[in-house]
């Protein structure tokens, strides 16, 4: 069954567009719908002010079935979106690059799936398996 997936990635500091595109590709290739397409755009704020960004992002988390968050780089926004998804009972998948000093809050989040990856290929393989329901 296709899910609505919210992709959460840092967009202010240390933006990693390549990894975001990799994750978005996996979401689409596994038959799911990416609902936070703005994170892939050159201007992810889309002309919104801070309150508008907050409402758009919080609404996206509320509407999703699953959140996939890149937690390789600390981000206040990603952390807030992950916590909101958890509080709402959404499926939480956190991906992070090998060697990352991962937050204890993320490591200890009940029910969260943590996927460590070495490179783009490893990320695609592991996330595809999870989103396809093969593990």
Is the Cβ–Cβ distance between 79 and 94 less than 8 Å? Answer: no
Own/partner pairs, 53-61, CB within 8 angstroms, 24+ separation: 57/81, 58/84, 60/6, 60/35, 60/36, 61/6, 61/8, 61/85, 61/88, 61/90
- The pLDDT assigned to 43 comes to 87
> Which domain covers residue 31, as residue numbers?
4-131
Full-model pTM: 0.95
In sequence order, which residues have a C-beta less than 8 Å from that of residue 99 and are 6 or more positions away? Answer: none
Q: Is the Cα torsion angle 89, 38, 101, 3 positive or negative in sign?
A: positive
The alpha carbon of residue 134 and the mean position of all alpha carbons in its chain are separated, in whole angstroms, by 19
User: Chain-wide mean pLDDT for the chain?
Assistant: 95
Task: Residue 77: name the closest of 44, 99, 110 by CA.
Answer: 44
Q: What is the pLDDT of residues 66-94, one digit of tens each?
A: 999 999 999 999 999 999 999 999 999 99
Q: How confident is the model at residue 30 (pLDDT cuts 50, 70, 90)?
A: very high
Report how many domains make up the chain: 1
CATH of residue 105? 3.40.50.450
């Amino acid at each position: 069954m296709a899910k609505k997936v919210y992709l959460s990635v840092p967009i202010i500091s240390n933006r990693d567009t390549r990894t975001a595109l990799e994750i978005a590709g996996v979401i689409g290739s596994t038959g799911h719908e990416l609902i936070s397409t703005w994170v892939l755009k050159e201007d992810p704020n889309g002309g919104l002010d801070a309150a508008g960004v907050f409402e758009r992002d919080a609404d996206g988390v509320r509407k999703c079935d699953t959140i996939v968050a890149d937690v390789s780089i600390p981000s206040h926004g990603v952390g807030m979106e992950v916590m909101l998804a958890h509080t709402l009972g959404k499926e939480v998948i956190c991906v992070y690059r090998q060697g990352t000093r991962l937050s204890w809050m993320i490591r200890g989040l009940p029910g969260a799936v943590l996927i460590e990856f070495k490179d783009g290929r490893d990320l695609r393989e592991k996330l595809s398996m999870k989103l396809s329901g093969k593990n």
